[in-house]
Amino acid sequence: MDSTLLAQYVLAGLVIGAIYCLMAVGITFIYSVMRMINWAMGEFYMIGGYLQYLLIESWLGPQRWYLAVPLAAGGVALLGMAVQIVLLRPMFTGSLERLDEYATIVTIALTVLFRNLAIVIFGPYQFSPPDYAAPVQLGPLPLNGSRFVAFAGAVVLLGLLAFVVRRTWFGLALRGVAQNRLGAVTAGVDLGRIDMLAFGIGVGLAGAAGALLAPVLLVYPESGALSTVKGFEIIVIGGLGSLPGSIVGGLLLGLVESLGSVLLSPSFRDVYGFGALLLILALRPTGLWGERAREA
Amino acid sequence: MTADRPAARTRLRLAAAAAGLIAAALLPLALGAYHVHVLTVALYYVVLASSWNLLAGYTGLFSLAHHVFAGLGGYTSALLVLDAGWPIPAGVLAGGIFACALGFALGSVTLRLRTLYLALATWAFAESTRVVVSMEYGVTRGDLGLAVPKLFPGAGPAPYYEVFLGCAAAAVAALLWLLRSPIGYRLRAIRDDEGAARAAGVNTVRWKRFAFAVASGAAGAIGAVYGHYIGLLSPVAMKFDEMALIIIMVILGGQRTIAGPIIGAVTVEVVSEALRAYGQIRMVMFALVVLAVMRLYPPGLAGLLRALATRAARTAGVARSAGAGRGVAPPTTNSAS
């Protein structure tokens, strides 16, 4: 195979990998702060896609998609905060036992709820807003405009998140809670608020990914299923609870899929991630950047 | 008060279970073919829900690939019968063994880590398997579905019903036996506090893997039988919705009870057949009910029934013992087993 082609596939893998990162970082973000996996991540992604489509089709028009993306992500974040207040906050008031079990069951029930609500409201059809931009040439790689926008959007969002987490007081509070909840409380951090905001931001990232990818991967009730799985594969590969791990894992998964489909077979593109996951679990179970946490 | 002595009580319960089983076995005489079919499917879910309850409820392992193990058992048996000419019972056995071995292998990789990893890995396993099954068109016939030879060609649902009733009874009896054996105590100890269990000398990895392999094998075997009943296998049954259905049944019925998954599976299957005309709204409804159960009343239907029975017994007891002035035993709360 000639090197231009290889470069093209590598680049294509990195582009899709950057978008996977949004999902994985959202999952990690929620896990670090609340110590729970949000299994309904893909459904928030799906809702982001629907919001984006509705905003573009009914109000903003295809020219102003860049206004619709933050609105859709914000809407998803608000929904996430509402979910957190109604369903997840009781986890931390001491009235429940087995927090991880409770969180798992509740978020899986949410998966069923949102998926079927989408079918009831919009039907099983696939929607897609028009492309966000004209095709671009990225080095040797000709790229679909929407894909490029999604890539750029993912990079901007991840940069913004990194800034907030590393450089602001709010980010300091987040990191404090992630390290030690009790310690953070004694330092005067309002845990309820931090949990709510962290959950909102985490699912908001998924919503943004859904909105950005709406023209590429289409919007339908089960559109979140595959992206959730990719997110989970990434966090196992990168290491549960590590933001850098999620980013490296996301890019790696994009690469593995892209190279796997050219070197092996394109029909099994969605299976290579699982292979990578098994490999990591067998060789380095804590993931590339994994924390060596004590068991609770 | 003879029924309160343990031995007599056990005998009473056994007699009640046997009577219930005989009554259930005679049901097809009273019902039409359609209703028998619905109950047959419900019994299939009883086995899936009960075996998943062993994992999630009693051992604390959230497998999210239970439906896929059932599907793989179905494909294994169907392909062995179709391509290698095996008899159906041998195929079913092979389906169970294959799912059990897969569970063992997947458990070996993931169960040394925190239990969350099992959930993550099984979810990824489930979706990847579904993709492979729909892509390997040459072997599985992909999304078209694989036509499977029937167990009783040309027969109505009644004989299948009896087979599934037998399987469900065997599964529940095996679960009861397992939970009363030392293994059951090890599993519950692992769920309650894995560190303490290990400190007490339980080889936690081995027993977690054991539970996972056994439950997956049960799912594989019953999935194989189900394939030979329905006559068609397709990757659609490996979608996550199917797993969610099993979870809904267990939570609604009541986790960590023997009766819970049975009540839950039958209730959910019968209700969703009765409301078939409403389409996906049923699933929305079930999801809302599960959220309500988790948030407000975790014991579920089995817990509710038990509480009602205790209350009834107490009022009856009060009425009876009012003259004699005997105290009433405190109501047993929803016990863990």
pLDDT by residue, tens only, chain B of 337 residues: 444 567 888 888 889 889 999 999 888 888 889 999 999 999 999 999 999 999 999 998 999 999 999 999 999 999 999 999 999 999 999 999 999 999 999 999 888 887 788 898 999 999 899 989 988 888 888 888 898 899 998 888 999 999 999 999 999 999 999 999 999 999 999 988 888 999 999 999 999 999 999 999 999 999 999 999 999 999 988 999 899 999 999 999 998 899 999 999 999 999 999 998 888 899 999 999 999 998 888 888 999 999 999 999 888 877 766 555 444 444 444 444 3
The predicted structure's pLDDT at residue B336: 40
Q: Is the ipTM above a cut-off of 0.95?
A: no
CA–CA distance, B308 with B240 (Å, rounded to integer): 34
Enclosing domain of residue B246? 17-321
Q: How many CB atoms lie within 10 A of CB B279?
A: 12
Q: How many CB atoms lie within 10 A of CB A229?
A: 26
The predicted structure's pLDDT at residue A289: 78
| Contact flag A101-B125 (C-beta cutoff 8 Å) | no
Of residues B121, B241, B286, nearest to A281 (C-beta):
B121
Of residues B127, B247, B287, nearest to A113 (C-beta):
B287
For residue B76, count CB atoms less than 10 angstroms from its CB and return exposed for 0-12, middle for 13-18, buried for 19 or more.
Answer: buried
Whether residue B326 is contained in a domain is answered as no
The structural domain count of chain B equals 1
Q: Would you place residue A95 in the very low, low, confident or very high pLDDT band (cuts 50, 70, 90)? A: low
The mean pLDDT value for A172-190 works out to 90
Q: Would you place residue A291 in the very low, low, confident or very high pLDDT band (cuts 50, 70, 90)? A: low
Residue A286 backbone dihedrals phi, psi, to 5 degrees: -85, 5
The predicted structure's pLDDT at residue A118: 94
| Contact flag A232-B110 (C-beta cutoff 8 Å) | no
Return the structure tokens found at A236. 């196992």
Whether residue B330 is contained in a domain is answered as no
The predicted structure's pLDDT at residue A96: 60
The chain-wide mean pLDDT, for chain A, equals 88
Q: Look up the pTM and report it.
A: 0.89
Whether residue B5 is contained in a domain is answered as no
Segment (H or E) for B232: strand B232-233
Whether residue B10 is contained in a domain is answered as no
CA–CA distance, B213 with A227 (Å, rounded to integer): 28
Q: How many CB atoms lie within 10 A of CB A217?
A: 22
Residue A152 backbone dihedrals phi, psi, to 5 degrees: -60, -40
- Residue A246 corresponds to which amino acid? S
Whether residue B198 is contained in a domain is answered as yes
B311 close contact with A: CB closer than 8 A: no
CA–CA distance, A152 with A292 (Å, rounded to integer): 33
Identify how many contiguous H helices and E strands chain B contains and give both numbers. Answer: 14, 2
pLDDT tens digits for A97-138?
A: 677 788 999 999 999 999 999 999 998 899 988 888 888 887
Whether the pLDDT of residue A204 is over 80: the answer is: yes
Whether residue B327 is contained in a domain is answered as no
The predicted structure's pLDDT at residue B337: 38
A113 close contact with B: CB closer than 8 A: yes
CATH of the domain at B22: 1.10.3470
**Chain position carrying tokens 């809904």:** B248
Helices in chain A by DSSP H: which ranges?
A: 3-34, 41-55, 65-83, 99-122, 145-167, 169-179, 181-186, 191-217, 224-238, 243-263, 272-283
For residue A92, count CB atoms less than 10 angstroms from its CB and return exposed for 0-12, middle for 13-18, buried for 19 or more.
Answer: middle
